[in-house]
Amino acid sequence: MTTMTTTDTTTPDTPRPPKAVPATVPAPAAGLIPLPARLGRAAATGGGALTVLSAFLSWTWTSAFPGDLTVYGYPGGLQWLVLVSGALTTLFGIASYGVRGTRWLVPAGADAAIRFAALAAFATAWFTVIAICVQLGGVINLEPGGHVVAVASLVALLGALALPFERPAAEPADPDDGGLDRLRHESRTRWATVRAAFAAGTPAAPARKLPSWAEILILAGVLAGGLIVFTYGITTEYDELFTGFLITAGFGFAALGKAGLIARASALAARHRNVAMVGAFVAAAAFPFTQSDDQYATIGVNILIFATVALGLNIVVGLAGLLDLGYVAFLGVGAYAAAMVSGSPSSPFGLHLPFWAAMLIGAAASMVFGVLIGAPTLRLRGDYLAIVTLGFGEIFRIAVLNTDGTSGPDITNGSNGISSIPNLDILGFDFGAEHSVGGLTVGRFANYFFLMLLVTLIIVVVFRRSAESRIGRAWVAIREDETAALAMGINGFRVKLIAFALGATLAGLAGAVQAHVTYTVTPEQYQFAHAVPPNSAFLLAAVVLGGMGTISGPLVGGALLFLIPAKLQFLSDYQLLAFGLALILLMRFRPEGLIPNRRRQLEFHEDQEAPATLSKAGA
C-alpha cells in the first residue's frame, strides 16, 4: 500500500504573500444627513450659539403675541426656552471636541445629546414662529430675530443629524504583524477609537470620586434645578408657553439622559439615599414660598394627591403585578369615610372628630374594603382580575348613588355627596386661613400642600420599606412568575392580599386629605374614566408612564398627567385622543417608563448587558 504524504513546500526563504494593511482610523458610522461628522459637529455647535444670540433679538413687531417678543436685548416668554435649548446644544457641541473642563458634561458621549438638544431648540423655535404667523396673520409679522432663530435652529438640527448614530469600532490589529509597524498601528487605533467613541456615545471612564460633602452639594444643585423647572411649568401663564415648556423639557431631559448626566445624578442619589429623599421633600416644601398667592398652590396640592395615590397603586401593579382597574374606589372610600366624621352638616352621623382620627378612619375603611374585595377575587389572575376590579369600582360608585335615603339607606346623600366639609384645625392651626411665614403669606391651598407633602412622605417611606422587605421580594417573585413563586413555597394568596390591603390603605390616607381640600365629595369624582383626574384610567397610566416598581416614577407620571390637562384647556375636547396617542408613542419608544426600574428596563431591552447587581425595587 502506498502512503501519500503531504509536505509543506514553503521554505524559510519563500516570501509570504502580501497582507492587507489594516486601517488605522476607524470609519465613522453615517448619520441621517450625508455630511462629514466634523462639519456636522461644527454646524450643530455654531447653530446652537446663533440660536442663543437670536433670543436677544426681536421676533415680532407687536406685543399681541403673548410673552412680548418685541424687545431687543432681553428674552421674553418662549425666547427663554429657545435660549436654554440652544445653550445646551452649544455646550454639548463644545464638549464633543474634548475641550478641557467640559468633558464632565458628556460622561456617556456627546453625539446623541447634541441631537436631542438641537431637536429641542428646533422644535420650540419653529413652534413659536409658526404660532406667531398663525395668530398674527402671516410671515410678515416676523421681525429679523424670528428669521434668524428659524435658520439657526435648522442649521443646528441638520448638523446634529449628520453625526453618527452608531458607535465606530476599531479594526483589530493583525496578530502576525510585528515590529514598529504593529506598535504604530496599535497606538493610532487606540487613540482614534478613544476619540471616535467619546463623540459617539461610548461611556467614558468612571468619574473621579468626590468627597461626600461635594456630592451632597451637587445633589442640592440638582434638586434646586428640579424645583425651578417644576415651578416654571406650573406657573406658565398661557397655552403657547406651556406647550413650548413641554417640548423643551421633554427633549432637554432626553439630551441630559443621553449625555449621562441623569445617570450620574441618579448614582449620587442612590449613594446618599436618605439625604436625597430629605432634600427632595425640602425642595418640594419650598414651592409654596415661590408663589405670591394660592393660584398655583391649588395645582400643586392636587398634583400631590394624584401622585401619591398613583404611588399606592404602584404597590399593587408595579410590585405585585396585580392589574387593578378600580383603584380609585379606595380613594373614594377614604374620602367618604373621613368626610362623614369631620363635622359636615350634610353627614347623617353628626360627628366631628379630630383630623388624625378622621384620617385613621378613612385609611381603615379603605383597608377593610380592600380585604373584602381582595379575599374572593385575588385567586384570579391577569385579565380576569382586571375585570373584577373594574366591576368593583363601578359597584362602589353605584352604591354611593343609591344610598341617598330614597333608593337605599341615607348614608351618602346620593348624587349630592357630602358637602361643606370644614377646614382642618390641628392644634389651633387653621388650614383655611392665611398665615405669614418669614414675611411671606401662605394661603389655604399652601397649608394643605404642606399637609399633603407630609402624607406623601409617609407613603414614600411605607413603599420603600415594603419594597425592600421580605414581603416586597415576595411581591416581585409573584409578579415575575406566580407559578414558580408558589412552587418555591410563597403563599401567593396571602402575599397578594397584603399588597391589595396596603395599597387600599395608602389611597384612603390621600382620600382623607382630598375630602378637606375639595370641600365636597361626590360619586362623579371616582369614575373609571373621568374628565378630571384622579380616576382609575389616569392612575394606572401614571404608574406605567412614570415607571412601575419605582418611587419617583409614579410621582413624575402623576404630576405630568394632572398638570397637562390642567394647563392645556384648549385640548379638553380632544383630551382622550391626545392621551391615547401619547400612550402609543410611549409604548413604542419607552415601554419601561420615564424613570424605569433597572430590572424592568432589562426585560424590555434584553440585548443590553445585565449589570453585576440589579437595583432595588424601590430605587
Residue of 598 and 157 predicted with greater confidence: 157
Residue of 428 and 3 predicted with greater confidence: 428
Residue 90, C-alpha cell as written in the block:
452649544
Q: Is the pLDDT of residue 199 over 80?
A: no
Query: pLDDT category, 206, cuts 50, 70, 90?
Result: low
Q: Is the pLDDT of residue 25 over 80?
A: no
Residue 493, C-alpha cell as written in the block:
394568596
Query: Can you say whether the dihedral through the CA atoms of 601, 603, 609, 615 is positive or negative?
Result: positive
Q: Is the pLDDT of residue 340 over 70?
A: yes
**Mean pLDDT of the region 319-347:** 89
Query: pLDDT category, 29, cuts 50, 70, 90?
Result: low
Residue with cell 456636522: 40
Partners of 60 in the β-ladder: 142
How far apart CA 446 and CA 295 sit, in angstroms, is 10
Q: Do residues 309 and 334 touch, judged by C-beta distance below 8 A?
A: no
Question: What pTM was computed for the model?
Answer: 0.80
Phi/psi region, residue 466 (left: phi>0; alpha: psi -120 to 50; beta: rest), is: alpha
Q: Do residues 557 and 314 touch, judged by C-beta distance below 8 A?
A: no
How far apart CA 67 and CA 107 sit, in angstroms, is 36
How far apart CA 156 and CA 49 sit, in angstroms, is 9
Note the CATH architecture for domain 292-604.
Orthogonal Bundle (1.10)
Q: Do residues 396 and 507 touch, judged by C-beta distance below 8 A?
A: no
Residue with cell 432634600: 279
**Mean pLDDT of the region 174-191:** 45
∠ CA 11-13-18, nearest 5°, is 95
Average pLDDT along the chain? 81
Q: What is the pLDDT of residue 333?
A: 92
10 Å CB burial of residue 588 (0-12, 13-18, 19+) is exposed
Query: pLDDT category, 593, cuts 50, 70, 90?
Result: confident
How far apart CA 410 and CA 348 sit, in angstroms, is 7
10 Å CB burial of residue 511 (0-12, 13-18, 19+) is buried
How far apart CA 231 and CA 297 sit, in angstroms, is 10
What percentage of the chain reaches a pLDDT higher than 70? Answer: 83
Q: Is the pLDDT of residue 192 over 80?
A: no
**Mean pLDDT of the region 22-36:** 60
Residues 6+ apart with CB under 8 A from 577: none
Q: What is the pLDDT of residue 600?
A: 65
**Mean pLDDT of the region 23-52:** 78
> Measuring CA to CA, which residue among 567, 506, 502, 580 is closest to residue 541?
580
Partners of 437 in the β-ladder: 440
Q: Do residues 51 and 82 touch, judged by C-beta distance below 8 A?
A: yes
**Mean pLDDT of the region 416-429:** 85
How far apart CA 429 and CA 389 sit, in angstroms, is 39
Residue of 161 and 14 predicted with greater confidence: 161
Query: pLDDT category, 68, cuts 50, 70, 90?
Result: confident
Cα 576 to chain center, whole Å? 20
Residue of 9 and 510 predicted with greater confidence: 510
Helix, strand, coil shares, percent, the chain, to 5: 65, 5, 35
Dump strand ranges (E) for 171-309: none
Q: Is the pLDDT of residue 174 over 50?
A: no
Q: Is the pLDDT of residue 220 over 80?
A: yes
Q: What is the pLDDT of residue 602?
A: 65
How far apart CA 475 and CA 223 sit, in angstroms, is 31
**Mean pLDDT of the region 215-230:** 89
Q: At what angle do helices 328-340 and 355-377 cross, to 10 degrees?
A: 140
How far apart CA 52 and CA 84 sit, in angstroms, is 8
How far apart CA 590 and CA 583 sit, in angstroms, is 10
Query: pLDDT category, 207, cuts 50, 70, 90?
Result: low
pLDDT in tens, 291-331: 777 778 888 898 999 888 999 899 999 888 888 888 889 99
DSSP letters, 37-101, are HHHHHHHHHHHHHHHHHHTTS--BS-TTSTT-TT-SSS--THHHHHHHHHHHHHHHHHHHTT-TT
How far apart CA 1 and CA 274 sit, in angstroms, is 86
What DSSP designation does 440 have? E
Residue of 262 and 6 predicted with greater confidence: 262
Residue ranges of the chain that CATH labels 1.10.3470:
292-604
Residue of 13 and 540 predicted with greater confidence: 540
Cα 34 to chain center, whole Å? 34
Distances from the Cα of 615 to the Cα of 152, 286, 307, angstroms: 42, 30, 23
Q: What is the pLDDT of residue 171?
A: 41
Q: Do residues 37 and 31 touch, judged by C-beta distance below 8 A?
A: yes
Using DSSP bridges, classify how beta strands 429-430 and 440-442 pair: parallel, antiparallel or unpaired: unpaired
Q: At what angle do helices 273-285 and 444-467 cross, to 10 degrees?
A: 160
How far apart CA 196 and CA 103 sit, in angstroms, is 14
